Amino acid sequence: MAGSETHYTLPRPSFDKPVKLLIVVAPYYKDIADNMVAGATAEIEAAGGTFEICEVPGALEVPTAISIADRTSNFDGYVALGCVIRGETTHYDTVCNDSSRAIQLMGLQGLCIGNGILTVENRPQAEVRADPAAMNKGGGAAAAALHLIALTRKWGAQTKGVGFKAPGEAIQLAENSNGSTTA
């Protein structure tokens, strides 16, 4: 049983500048969603961050809300929360696969997203995973987003100084370093 295993948890990242996250939650199962939000907000606050919460109708709308926020707002990262419990139809597979795929694609494009959309067989599984005093998957999703933000800030300021540079980038780099416009 997964609840009896122990897992390594990375130390909480620290930040020189404030960090702001958007928690996007689908409260279809309100009690489960509330527990996940409690875990996520506690983790963000423990890291010194701030957050806003946005509710959407279901797990399929979570990635869309994150995409809208990324285009129109100034969040450092996102926490995706919700719960999909297997039912009698293939709708479960569609919701699980499509929401996860969309979040993963946005992550590969550079967004810092912690995916806390539970995909479970039954309500008791969801309850133990959402409980901040048990598996705390909401807190885990927030921690994942915070770690990705820390990596983005760490690596975002670095330049390798080697390898291929696009023509415009090479010219800009040359202008910045010596005032001339040689590539």
Dist CA 79 CA 51 (whole Å): 10
Dist CA 176 CA 41 (whole Å): 41
- CB atoms closer than 10 angstroms to residue 18: 9
Q: Do residues 32 and 83 touch, judged by C-beta distance below 8 A? A: yes
In angstroms and rounded to an integer, the radius of gyration of the C-alpha atoms of the chain is 19
Active site (annotated) includes residue 91: yes
Catalytic residue among 45, 52, 58, 91: 91
Q: Which residues are known to be catalytic?
A: 91
